[in-house]
Structure 1
Amino acid sequence: MRSNAWMIVARREIVSKLTDRTFVVGTLGLIAILAGVLGVQAFMADRASEYAVVTSSSAAQGMAERVKTVAEAEDDKVRVTLSRAPDDAAATREVRSGDADVWLHEDGDEGWKLTGLDEVPGDVTTPATDAIRDATLTANAASAGTTVDALTRGSAVTTGILEGDADRAGVAKVVGFALAMMFYLASFTFGLALANSVVEEKASRIVEIITTKISVRELLAGKVMGNLTLAFAQMALFVGVGLVGLTFTEYDRFLPAISGAVGWFVVFFVIGFGLLACLWAVAGALASRTEDVQSTSTPLTMLTMAMFFAALLVDGTAKTVLSFVPPFSSIIMPMRVLEGSASWWEALVALAILVVTAGLIVQVAARLYQRSLLQTQGRLSIRQAWSTPT
Structure 2
Amino acid sequence: MSLETRPPGEASDDAAASQAGALAPDHRDWALVASREIRVKLTDRNFLVSTGITLVLIIGLLGLQAFIAARSGATEYSVVVSSAQGEAIVGQAEAVLQAQEDDASVSVTRVGDAAAGEALVTEGDADGALTQRQGGWTLLSDGGGPAELERALADAVRQAALTANAEAAGTSVPELLSGAELTTEDVSGEDAAEEVVQIVAGILFGVLFYMASLTYGISIANSVVEEKQSRIVEILAAVIPVRALLTGKVLGNTLLAFGQMALLVGVSLIGLSFTEFDRFLPMMTEPLLWYLPFFVAGFVALACMWAAAGALASRTEDLQSTTLPLTLTLVLVFVVALNLEGAARTAGSFVPVMSTILMPMRLLEGGVGWWEPVAALAATVVFGYLTILVGSTLYRRALMQTQGRVTLRQAMRLKG
1:173 Cα shift?
A: 2.1
State the partner residue of 1:38.
62
1:225 Cα shift?
A: 0.5
Separation of aligned partners in 2, 1:287 and 1:110: 86
Pick from 93, 101, 117: which aligns with 1:75? 101
Contact 1:13 1:223 in 2 (8 A): yes
State the partner residue of 1:366.
392
The one-letter amino acid of 2:182's match is: S
DSSP-derived class of the 2:196 partner: helix
Q: 1:135 to 1:28 in 2, by over 3 A?
A: farther
1:376 Cα shift?
A: 2.6
The one-letter amino acid of 1:288's match is: S
TM, length-normalised to structure 2: 0.78
Separation of aligned partners in 2, 1:110 and 1:197: 82
1:161 aligns with 2:188: yes
Q: 1:104 to 1:306 in 2, by over 3 A?
A: farther
Separation of aligned partners in 2, 1:157 and 1:65: 27
DSSP-derived class of the 1:211 partner: helix
State the partner residue of 1:234.
260
Contact 2:130 2:137 in 1 (8 A): no
State the partner residue of 1:327.
353
Larger radius of gyration: 2
1:27 Cα shift?
A: 1.8
State the partner residue of 2:218.
192
Pick from 288, 306, 309: which aligns with 2:314? 288
State the partner residue of 2:10.
none
Contact 1:51 1:100 in 2 (8 A): no
1:57 Cα shift?
A: 8.7
1:206 aligns with 2:239: no
1:292-321 deviation digits (Å, cap 9, x = unpaired): 322322232233233333443333222111
Contact 1:180 1:308 in 2 (8 A): yes
State the partner residue of 1:342.
368
1:38 Cα shift?
A: 2.5
1:234 Cα shift?
A: 1.0
Alignment of 1:1-390 (within 5 A): 2-47=26-71, 48-52=73-77, 64-81=90-107, 86=115, 124=149, 127=152, 131=156, 147-148=173-174, 151=177, 153=179, 155-162=182-189, 166-390=192-416
1:14 Cα shift?
A: 0.2
Separation of aligned partners in 2, 1:286 and 1:105: 86
Contact 1:54 1:91 in 2 (8 A): no
1:346-370 deviation digits (Å, cap 9, x = unpaired): 1101111111111111111111222
4-13 or 279-288, larger mean C-alpha shift: 279-288
State the partner residue of 2:6.
none
Structure 2: state its 5+ residue gaps. Answer: 1-24
Q: 1:228 to 1:46 in 2, by over 3 A?
A: same
Structure 1: state its 5+ residue gaps. Answer: none
Q: Percent identity?
A: 45
DSSP-derived class of the 1:288 partner: coil
DSSP-derived class of the 2:368 partner: coil
1:211 Cα shift?
A: 1.5
